[in-house]
């Protein structure tokens, strides 16, 4: 359902970007990068109020005529983004949330791996598998 | 350049203009009549100062109004040929007035009233004639100049006005007055009033028009007259907008928009429908902005794009559809110079918008992604184009068609009519031809992109902006402006690189490298090569450039380049002197050569290590490797070769300079130099604290035989401590220091090392060097200025101290206030073996300054009674007290009281003794104050030293208090023996002295007393001559023994006398003479012996 999944670190460098069609990879890189503007905007607005009760899911960051980008930010400012096709009207908000939760738990899983150095690019089979499942399902 | 088919989609100026009712102003001769000119100016001024309600137009007498169309007898057989007429909006905006104001100069008291009234009426009538058939309202305004300016309301009801109204046949309310004034500003109020009236009239006019339109409605047929329904709704909306009834206008536009959507689209009318729909949409969105509903406007726009996105009509003209999409997209972001209206100005500050609005604005730009569309235009277009349109241009007259959005080759045709296939084909081909030949897409696209970039800048979306800049660069590249493309790309590259978006970096590097190659930009070429991930050719390319050879040609686009020209360009640029030495800044972690640095302190040495790992596929040699640490360059190695992919460690020693001591020095960069005979290339790796490269604490140690760069923890800064081991410094002094004394401080330096210390320099400084003096001279005395005295900081240099030798110096400091002083002693020195390394040692000492003693003074009368009031010519005793509060014993060598001239010193005692803590000593001086005035009693000086000090004496002075001295007019003194004997006569003598300058008459009374028998004046009145004394002698014969009260001596003033009062005299008598005398009993012979014995004891 998703066409692209991205993980961006707290200092806005990409950690993992995968997409269904490798030909569009560059386009998605740009899209994910530009969506960070919206995420930062949203974070700076909510940052003033209570940070603890902030919801991770940010909703639609923006939609173009082809793609819609959703955002999700953890407490440690690790950003997850899911790109879907705008034409896919069947997708519900709940399903997107579920996808993000899945990604988040997968991310937590690899962070717990003592051989993974936080800050490195994510090169985990498990995470890859989970990301693929989000894109295919 | 003309863009015929794009023009059609652009919004026409009449659509973008703010609709204002046209008000014709007639009867003003602005060319020849100054009064009229001023009136016209006053109307123009409204525009500058206030938001105008109506649009004033000057009408000349021979003006022709647009002819009124003949009324259609019936709509039933009328078939509309299009939706919106091209000239209709323009007509109502500029030509068809809602109101015409007729100006006429006429004063109430005009002598030729009758003639003028007739002339005026005839003018009004002729105006009415020209406007025949229209609903245009006519107002008559009389310009009145005669003072007093009448109040319009009252006069209009008058007789003259009534006759004027009757003759002109106008509405009574439409006769207005304009009191004329030379000052345009003063007329402003009248003009604004007039505007309000006119505006109301215009509203009536439009209401009439709206009613007319609505009356047609019943006779219309939905199937045939679909276009008319749209047209009518649009017209009502437009009229409402004229009336400034924006909600109503929006409603009618929305209705029209809805009706457009209902129209059945055929290939023949699709452009028209699209164009009209977007015009109406523009109006709706613009009104939403006016009504402060920015979000609604954006929604309208979104909905519109969604609806018409896929309605493109003829496949061959797909590009046209994209152009249309693009135009409606950009209308929101472009600032149209024609419409300086507040309509499309988005709220300026972010806080004015709630978040979702920002997002929608973002999405406006992102959604149809203007550049994508415009690129489609370009690529869509089939290459097969045609040299047709030779004989007759089917596009002729496109901009003069009756209706918006129709094809020039098919004007006014009904959609139902079957199209002429031949004409249709020609027209399409002609459009394609124009698109191909006359439109420079890149210029349009770049313009749009720069507009969008501006918007994103305003709304602080840096990344989106960067993306658009890259797209712009690509567009420049396509339009063969390689230089601009290269500049934009290299600017953006840095930002992407710092955020580690390597995929994007490599995407930008490729076209960048191509641009640099084509433009022969040596510096950029080298920089981009080093960023390239194609490591195979990078090194050889760099070597070629270094050796003045042109790098291999890269193919990125299908642009053809002349190889010879390129070669010449490269040769020229390579030999340019700007390119002889190139310095490139690189990231030490993400470049083709990776660098880490460490600086550590080991075995009294600062060890500097550089770890280099080259990612090139071949060994690479650099001529120099320098490290910049603490702003000094340290050469680590020269002519060093790095094997591919292996970490090389290079060590050197860092010798700190004197300015580095006690500071933290940081490695700021590592430079790798490469040199050939043609040029010098320096790769400068800027070392920063990059959080990404900071290793987490729990990184696992990797045990490998070779070094791994990732496991090396870089240490980029170190604190340089001064080396102090060889010199010892000892400071001796006896705190506290006493005020004003020269206080000795002994500084002892000893060399405890094994080699001589040289270039010693001792610096004695004090942070607060006020009130403190310093000297090295042991003979320094207490004088305030002496040759041996110096000021802080005291600097002393010394050539050398041999091993195990000591050097001692004594400095003397003197402080003149009671305080605490902090002195710093700093010694810098170096070893004789390494004189360039300066070492230092410092120490500080605290001095408590305190007083040696406290001095107070008391004052006594002749009879040792404390006194508070001083009188001239009376003896006073001054008794200074010296209380020692110093912790050490001090010797007082001398004391003295120096008194001013007006005081006479009778007698003085001096002190000379030792005082220890808590002891008090006093001395005394008897003085007589000669003059009655306020004066200082003098200065008490103590000369002292510490008991164990061999230095000179310290002189401390204290000023005795100031006192008020009272005058003494008459002085009385008594000469009395020390004692008397019972029954033995003795003589006492009272002496009176008159200090006044006049004769004083006093009565002297000697009261009788039981204890004495006396002889002399008992009561006498005498005159006291100025400055003379008079004596009164008495022989007294004591009757009793013991301490006996003398007979009372009284002086009474006989009469009032200036300068002296009885009270003064009485006080003086009490103060100056004793009241008692000691009278011994008569000596008896038998008892005389023991008494004398007693006295002897």
From the list B1004, B1003, B1000, the residue with the least C-alpha distance to B1059 is B1000
CA B404 to chain centre: 54
Q: What is the pLDDT of residues B865-888, one digit of tens each?
A: 788 788 888 888 888 888 888 888
Q: How confident is the model at residue B957 (pLDDT cuts 50, 70, 90)?
A: confident
Token readout for B610 is 């550089």
Instruction: Name, of B212-226, B563-577, B703-717, the range with top average pLDDT.
Output: B563-577
Looking at chain B from residue 335 to 364, which residues have their Cβ under 8 Å from any Cβ of chain A? Answer: 355, 358-359, 362-363
Set of chain A residues whose Cβ sits within 8 Å of the Cβ of B366 = 34, 62, 64
> How would DSSP label each residue in B310-339?
T----GGGHHHHHHHHHHHHHTTTS--SS-
Residue B257's pLDDT is 84
Looking at chain A from residue 33 to 92, which residues have their Cβ under 8 Å from any Cβ of chain B? Answer: 33-34, 36-38, 41-42, 45, 60-65
- Residue in the block written with tokens 């210390």: B757
Token readout for A24 is 């569009």
Residue B695's pLDDT is 46
Query: What is the mean predicted confidence (pLDDT) over A17-40?
Result: 87
B380-389, B431-440, B547-556, B647-656: least confidently modelled range: B380-389
Q: How confident is the model at residue A101 (pLDDT cuts 50, 70, 90)?
A: very high
Whole-prediction pTM = 0.54
From the list B994, B979, B984, the residue with the least C-alpha distance to B1077 is B979
Query: What is the mean predicted confidence (pLDDT) over B247-262?
Result: 83
Distance CA(B1014)–CA(B1036), nearest Å, equals 4
Q: Which domains does chain B have, with CATH numbers?
A: 1-67+75-244 (3.40.50), 380-439 (no CATH), 443-579 (no CATH), 585-691+710-720 (2.60.40), 737-779+787-849 (2.60.40.10), 853-966 (2.60.40.10), 970-1080 (2.60.40.10)
Query: What is the mean predicted confidence (pLDDT) over B841-845?
Result: 83
Token readout for B960 is 């005795």
Q: How confident is the model at residue A92 (pLDDT cuts 50, 70, 90)?
A: confident
Query: What is the mean predicted confidence (pLDDT) over B545-565?
Result: 82
| Model confidence at B692: pLDDT above 50 | no
More confident residue, B1012 or B455: B1012
Strands (E), B134-173: 137-144
| Model confidence at A90: pLDDT above 70 | yes
Q: How confident is the model at residue B184 (pLDDT cuts 50, 70, 90)?
A: low
Please name the residues in contact with B586: beta carbons below 8 A apart, sequence gap of 6 or more. Answer: B530, B593, B683, B684, B685, B686
Please name the residues in contact with B890: beta carbons below 8 A apart, sequence gap of 6 or more. Answer: B738, B852, B853, B884, B914, B915, B944, B945, B946, B947
| Model confidence at A62: pLDDT above 80 | no
The alpha-carbon gap from A77 to the nearest alpha carbon of chain B, in Å, equals 15
Its sign, for the CA torsion B264, B266, B271, B272, is negative
From the list B446, B413, B445, the residue with the least C-alpha distance to B427 is B413
Q: How confident is the model at residue B1097 (pLDDT cuts 50, 70, 90)?
A: very low
Instruction: Name, of B277-291, B773-787, B910-924, the range with top average pLDDT.
Output: B910-924
From the list B892, B888, B885, B927, the residue with the least C-alpha distance to B911 is B892
From the list B369, B363, B373, B415, the residue with the least C-alpha distance to B223 is B415
Q: How confident is the model at residue B252 (pLDDT cuts 50, 70, 90)?
A: confident
Query: What is the mean predicted confidence (pLDDT) over B881-909?
Result: 84
More confident residue, B223 or B845: B845
Using omega within 30 degrees of 0 as the cis cutoff, is the peptide bond preceding B20 cis?
no
- Spatial strand order of the sheet with B175-179 comes to B55-59, B22-26, B99-105, B137-144, B175-179
The alpha-carbon gap from A11 to the nearest alpha carbon of chain B, in Å, equals 8
User: Which residue in chain A has the smallest CA separation from B306?
Assistant: A65
Q: How many other C-beta atoms lie within 10 A of the C-beta of residue B697?
A: 5
Set of chain B residues whose Cβ sits within 8 Å of the Cβ of A14 = 500-501, 503
| Model confidence at B390: pLDDT above 50 | no
Set of chain A residues whose Cβ sits within 8 Å of the Cβ of B500 = 13-14
Distance CA(B739)–CA(B1044), nearest Å, equals 53
User: Which residue in chain B has the smallest CA separation from A44?
Assistant: B355
Set of chain A residues whose Cβ sits within 8 Å of the Cβ of B501 = 13-14, 29, 33
Q: Which residue, among B307, B362, B693, would best test binding to A if mutated, counting the most A CBs under 10 Å from its CB?
A: B362
β-pair type (B903-908, B970-975): unpaired
Cβ density class B343-375: b for 16+ within 10 Å, e for less: bbebeeeeeebeeebbbbbbbbbbbbbbbebbb
Residue B400's pLDDT is 58
Q: What is the pLDDT of residues B915-955, one digit of tens each?
A: 888 888 888 888 888 877 888 888 888 888 888 777 778 88
B70-79, B813-822, B857-866, B991-1000: least confidently modelled range: B70-79
Contact B699 A117 (CB under 8 A): yes
- Give the burial class of B47: count Cβ atoms within 10 A of its Cβ; 0-12 exposed, 13-18 middle, 19 or more buried: exposed
Instruction: Point out the residue among A37, A45, A63 whose CB comes nearest to the CB of B463.
Output: A37
Contact B503 A29 (CB under 8 A): yes
Contact B692 A61 (CB under 8 A): no
Q: What is the pLDDT of residues B5-21, one digit of tens each?
A: 444 556 677 777 777 78
Token readout for B657 is 């300079």
- Give the burial class of B32: count Cβ atoms within 10 A of its Cβ; 0-12 exposed, 13-18 middle, 19 or more buried: exposed
Its sign, for the CA torsion B535, B539, B542, B544, is negative
| Model confidence at B834: pLDDT above 60 | yes
Does residue A117 belong to the interface with chain B, where contact is any CB pair within 8 Å?
A: yes
Please name the residues in contact with B568: beta carbons below 8 A apart, sequence gap of 6 or more. Answer: none
Token readout for B273 is 């429908």
The alpha-carbon gap from A37 to the nearest alpha carbon of chain B, in Å, equals 5
| Model confidence at B397: pLDDT above 80 | no
Looking at chain B from residue 444 to 463, which residues have their Cβ under 8 Å from any Cβ of chain A? Answer: 460-463
What is the SS3 assignment for B76? coil
Query: What is the mean predicted confidence (pLDDT) over B314-329?
Result: 55
| Model confidence at B417: pLDDT above 60 | no
Asked if residues B800 and B757 have their Cβ atoms less than 8 Å apart, the reply is yes
Asked if residues B406 and B271 have their Cβ atoms less than 8 Å apart, the reply is yes
Q: How far is CA B671 from CA B540, B559, B595, B642, B738, in A?
A: 20, 38, 10, 14, 61
What is the SS3 assignment for B891? strand
Asked if residues B768 and B823 have their Cβ atoms less than 8 Å apart, the reply is no
Residue B328's pLDDT is 52
Asked if residues B848 and B886 have their Cβ atoms less than 8 Å apart, the reply is no
B33-47, B391-405, B572-586: least confidently modelled range: B391-405
B118-127, B217-226, B971-980: least confidently modelled range: B217-226
From the list B601, B602, B620, the residue with the least C-alpha distance to B612 is B620
From the list A122, A117, A119, the residue with the least C-alpha distance to B699 is A117
Residue B337's pLDDT is 29
Q: Which residue, among A8, A10, A37, would best test binding to B if mutated, counting the most B CBs under 10 Å from its CB?
A: A37
The per-type count for chain A, helices as H runs and strands as E runs, is 3, 5
Long-range contacts of B28-31 (CB under 8 A, 24+ apart): B28/B58, B28/B103, B30/B58
The alpha-carbon gap from A13 to the nearest alpha carbon of chain B, in Å, equals 5
β-pair type (B680-686, B794-801): unpaired
What percentage of chain B exceeds 70 in pLDDT? 76
Does residue B212 belong to the interface with chain A, where contact is any CB pair within 8 Å?
A: no
Contact A29 B699 (CB under 8 A): no
| Model confidence at B370: pLDDT above 70 | no
Token readout for B448 is 């749009």
| Model confidence at B570: pLDDT above 70 | yes
Residue A106's pLDDT is 93
What is the SS3 assignment for A127? helix
Question: What's the DSSP call for residue B173?
Answer: G
Residue B6's pLDDT is 42
Q: How confident is the model at residue B151 (pLDDT cuts 50, 70, 90)?
A: low
Cβ density class B600-626: b for 16+ within 10 Å, e for less: eeeeeebebbbbbbbebeeebebbbbb
**Angle formed by the axes of helices B246-262 and B226-242, nearest 10°:** 160
Q: How confident is the model at residue B272 (pLDDT cuts 50, 70, 90)?
A: confident
Token readout for B965 is 């001295």
Query: What is the mean predicted confidence (pLDDT) over B441-448?
Result: 70
Token readout for B111 is 């002598």
Residue B364's pLDDT is 42
Asked if residues B725 and B753 have their Cβ atoms less than 8 Å apart, the reply is yes
Contact A29 B358 (CB under 8 A): no
Q: How many residues does chain A have?
A: 137
Backbone angles phi, psi at B1078, to 5 degrees: -90, 125
User: Which residue in chain A has the smallest CA separation from B692?
Assistant: A119
What is the SS3 assignment for B502? helix
| Helix or strand (DSSP H, E) at B78 | none
Contact A25 B503 (CB under 8 A): yes
Residues paired with B823 in a beta bridge: B766, B845
More confident residue, B207 or A120: B207
Q: How confident is the model at residue A104 (pLDDT cuts 50, 70, 90)?
A: very high
Residue B383's pLDDT is 36
Q: How confident is the model at residue B41 (pLDDT cuts 50, 70, 90)?
A: confident
CA A98 to chain centre: 12
Query: What is the mean predicted confidence (pLDDT) over B251-279?
Result: 78
B102-106, B379-383, B587-591: least confidently modelled range: B379-383
Instruction: Name, of B128-137, B379-388, B578-587, the range with top average pLDDT.
Output: B578-587
Query: What is the mean predicted confidence (pLDDT) over B1048-1060?
Result: 83
β-pair type (B757-766, B820-831): antiparallel
Does residue A121 belong to the interface with chain B, where contact is any CB pair within 8 Å?
A: no
Set of chain A residues whose Cβ sits within 8 Å of the Cβ of B309 = 65
Its sign, for the CA torsion B24, B26, B30, B34, is negative
Distance CA(A112)–CA(B608), nearest Å, equals 37
Q: How far is CA B454 from CA A41, B30, B488, B649, B814, in A?
A: 18, 44, 15, 49, 71
Q: What is the pLDDT of residues B80-95, one digit of tens each?
A: 677 777 777 777 777 7
Query: What is the mean predicted confidence (pLDDT) over B46-58?
Result: 69
Contact B367 A41 (CB under 8 A): no
Contact B369 A13 (CB under 8 A): no
Distance CA(B164)–CA(B142), nearest Å, equals 11
Instruction: Name, of A3-7, B702-706, B1049-1053, the range with top average pLDDT.
Output: A3-7
Q: How confident is the model at residue B381 (pLDDT cuts 50, 70, 90)?
A: very low
More confident residue, A20 or B461: A20
Q: How many other C-beta atoms lie within 10 A of the C-beta of residue B870?
A: 18
Token readout for B1032 is 């009164």
| Model confidence at B964: pLDDT above 90 | no
Residue A82's pLDDT is 92
- What are the sequence ranges of the domains in chain A? 2-136
Question: What's the DSSP call for residue B713?
Answer: P
Residue B360's pLDDT is 41
Q: How far is CA B870 from CA B881, B937, B963, in A?
A: 20, 11, 7
Using omega within 30 degrees of 0 as the cis cutoff, is the peptide bond preceding B990 cis?
no
Q: How confident is the model at residue B736 (pLDDT cuts 50, 70, 90)?
A: confident
From the list B280, B228, B273, the residue with the least C-alpha distance to B251 is B280
Size of interface A-B (CB pairs under 8 A): 73
Q: Spell out the CATH class of A2-136.
A: alpha beta
Please name the residues in contact with B734: beta carbons below 8 A apart, sequence gap of 6 or more. Answer: B888
Q: How many other C-beta atoms lie within 10 A of the C-beta of residue B787?
A: 9
What is the SS3 assignment for B672? strand
What is the average pLDDT value for chain B, to the nearest integer? 75
């Amino acid at each position: 359902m998703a066409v692209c999944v991205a993980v961006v670190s707290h200092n806005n460098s990409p950690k993992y970007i995968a997409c269904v069609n490798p030909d569009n990879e560059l386009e998605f890189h740009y899209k994910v990068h530009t969506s960070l503007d919206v995420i930062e905007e949203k974070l700076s607005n909510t940052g003033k109020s209570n940070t603890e009760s902030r919801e991770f899911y940010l909703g639609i960051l923006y939609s173009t005529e082809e793609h819609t980008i959703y955002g999700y930010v953890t407490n440690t400012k690790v950003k997850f983004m899911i790109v879907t096709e705008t034409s896919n009207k069947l997708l519900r908000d709940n399903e997107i949330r579920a996808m993000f939760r899945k990604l988040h738990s997968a991310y937590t899983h690899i962070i717990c791996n003592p051989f993974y150095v936080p800050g490195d690019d994510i090169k985990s089979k498990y995470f890859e598998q989970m990301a693929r499942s989000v894109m295919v399902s | 350049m003309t863009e015929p088919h794009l023009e059609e989609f652009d919004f026409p100026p009449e659509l973008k203009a703010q609709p204002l009712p046209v008000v014709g102003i007639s009867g003003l001769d602005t060319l020849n009549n100054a009064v009229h000119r001023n009136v016209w100016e006053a109307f123009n001024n409204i525009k500058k100062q206030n938001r105008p309600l109506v649009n004033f137009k000057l009408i000349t007498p021979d003006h022709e109004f647009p002819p009124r169309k003949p009324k259609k007898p019936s709509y039933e057989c009328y078939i509309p040929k299009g939706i919106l007429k091209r000239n209709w909006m323009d007509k109502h905006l500029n030509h068809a007035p809602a109101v015409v104001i007729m100006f006429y100069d006429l004063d109430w008291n005009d002598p030729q009233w009758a003639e003028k009234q007739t002339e005026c009426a005839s003018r009004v009538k002729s105006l009415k004639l020209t406007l025949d058939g229209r609903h245009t309202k006519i107002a008559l305004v009389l310009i009145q100049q005669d003072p007093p300016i009448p109040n319009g309301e009252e006069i209009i009801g008058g007789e003259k006005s009534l006759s004027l109204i009757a003759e002109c046949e106008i509405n009574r309310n439409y006769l207005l007055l304009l009191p004329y004034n030379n000052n345009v500003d003063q007329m402003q109020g009248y003009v604004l009033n007039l505007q309000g009236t006119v505006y109301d009239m215009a509203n009536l006019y439009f209401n009439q028009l709206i009613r007319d339109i609505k009356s047609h409605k019943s006779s219309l047929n939905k199937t045939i007259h679909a276009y008319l329904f749209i047209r009518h709704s649009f017209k009502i909306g437009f009229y409402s907008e004229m009336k400034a009834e924006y909600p109503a206008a929006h409603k009618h536009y929305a209705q029209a928009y809805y009706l457009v959507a209902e129209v059945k689209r055929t290939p023949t009318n699709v452009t028209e429908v699209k164009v009209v729909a977007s015009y109406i949409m523009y109006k709706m969105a613009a009104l939403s902005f006016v009504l402060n509903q920015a979000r609604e406007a954006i929604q309208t726009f979104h909905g519109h794009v969604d609806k018409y996105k896929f309605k493109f009509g003829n496949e061959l003209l797909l590009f046209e559809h994209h152009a249309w999409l693009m135009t409606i997209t950009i209308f929101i972001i472009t600032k149209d110079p024609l419409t300086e209206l507040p309509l499309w100005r988005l709220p300026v500050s972010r806080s004015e918008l709630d978040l979702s609005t920002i997002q929608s604005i973002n999405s406006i730009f992102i959604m149809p992604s203007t550049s994508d569309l415009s690129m489609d235009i370009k690529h869509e277009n089939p290459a097969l184009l045609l040299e047709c349109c030779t004989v007759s241009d089917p596009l002729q007259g496109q901009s003069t068609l009756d209706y918006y959005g129709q094809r020039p080759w098919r004007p006014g045709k009904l959609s139902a009519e079957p199209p002429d296939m031949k004409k249709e084909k020609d027209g399409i081909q002609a459009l394609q031809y124009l698109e191909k030949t006359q439109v420079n897409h890149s210029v349009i696209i770049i313009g749009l992109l720069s507009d969008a970039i501006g918007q994103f800048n305003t709304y602080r979306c840096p990344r989106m902006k960067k993306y658009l800049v890259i797209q712009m660069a690509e567009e420049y590249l396509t339009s063969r402006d390689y230089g601009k493309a290269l500049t934009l790309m290299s600017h953006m590259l840095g930002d992407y690189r710092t955020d580690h978006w390597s995929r994007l970096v490599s995407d930008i590097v490729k076209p960048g490298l191509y641009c640099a190659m084509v433009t022969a930009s040596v510096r950029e070429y080298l920089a981009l090569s080093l960023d390239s991930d194609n490591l195979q050719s990078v090194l050889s390319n760099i070597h070629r450039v270094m050796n003045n050879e042109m790098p291999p040609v890269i193919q990125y686009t299908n642009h053809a380049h002349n190889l010879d020209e390129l070669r010449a360009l490269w040769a020229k640029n390579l030999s340019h002197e700007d390119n002889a030495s190139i310095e490139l800044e690189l990231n030490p972690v993400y470049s083709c050569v990776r660098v880490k640095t460490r600086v550590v302190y080991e075995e009294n040495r600062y060890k500097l290590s550089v770890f280099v790992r080259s990612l090139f596929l071949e060994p690479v040699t650099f001529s120099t490797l320098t490290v910049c640490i603490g702003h000094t360059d340290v050469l680590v190695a020269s002519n060093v070769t790095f094997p591919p992919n292996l970490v090389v460690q290079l060590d050197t020693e860092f010798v700190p300079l004197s300015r580095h001591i006690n500071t933290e020095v940081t490695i700021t960069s590592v430079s790798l130099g490469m040199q050939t005979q043609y040029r010098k290339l320096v790769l400068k790796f800027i070392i920063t604290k990059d959080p990404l490269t900071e290793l987490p604490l729990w990184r696992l140690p990797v045990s490998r035989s070779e070094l791994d760069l990732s496991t090396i923890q870089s240490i980029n800064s170190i604190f340089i401590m001064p080396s102090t081991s060889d010199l010892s410094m000892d400071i001796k002094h006896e705190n506290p220091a006493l005020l004003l004394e020269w206080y000795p401080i002994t500084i002892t330096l000893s060399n405890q090392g094994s080699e001589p210390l040289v270039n010693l320099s001792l610096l004695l400084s004090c942070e607060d060097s006020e009130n403190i003096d310093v000297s090295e001279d042991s003979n320094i005395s207490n004088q305030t200025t002496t040759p041996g005295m110096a000021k802080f900081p005291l600097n002393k240099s010394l050539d050398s101290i041999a091993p195990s030798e000591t050097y001692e110096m004594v400095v003397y400091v003197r402080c003149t206030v009671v305080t605490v002083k902090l002195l710093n002693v700093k010694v810098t020195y170096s070893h004789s073996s390494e004189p360039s390394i300066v070492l230092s040692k410092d120490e500080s000492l605290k001095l408590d300054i305190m007083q040696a003693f406290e001095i107070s003074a008391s004052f006594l009368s002749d009879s040792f009674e404390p006194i508070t009031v001083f009188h001239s010519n009376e003896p006073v005793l001054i008794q200074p007290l010296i209380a020692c509060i110093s912790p050490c014993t001090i010797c007082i060598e001398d004391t003295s009281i120096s008194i001013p001239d007006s005081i006479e010193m009778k007698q003085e005692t001096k002190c000379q003794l030792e005082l220890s803590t808590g002891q008090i000593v006093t001395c005394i001086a008897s003085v007589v104050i000669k003059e009655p005035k306020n004066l200082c009693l003098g200065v008490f000086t103590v000369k002292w030293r510490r008991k164990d000090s061999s230095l000179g004496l310290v002189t401390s002075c204290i000023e005795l208090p100031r006192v008020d001295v009272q005058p003494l007019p008459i002085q009385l003194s008594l000469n009395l023996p020390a004692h008397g004997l019972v029954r033995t006569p003795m003589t006492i003598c009272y002496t009176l002295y008159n200090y006044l300058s006049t004769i004083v008459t006093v009565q002297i009374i000697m009261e009788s007393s039981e204890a004495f028998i006396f002889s002399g004046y008992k009561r006498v009145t005498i005159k006291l001559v100025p400055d003379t004394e008079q004596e009164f002698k008495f022989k007294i014969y004591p009757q009793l023994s013991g301490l006996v009260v003398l007979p009372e001596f009284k002086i009474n003033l006989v009469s009032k006398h200036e300068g002296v009062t009885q009270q003064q005299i009485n006080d003086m008598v009490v103060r100056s003479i004793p009241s008692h005398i000691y009278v011994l009993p008569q000596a008896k012979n038998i008892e005389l012996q023991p008494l004398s014995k007693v006295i002897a004891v």
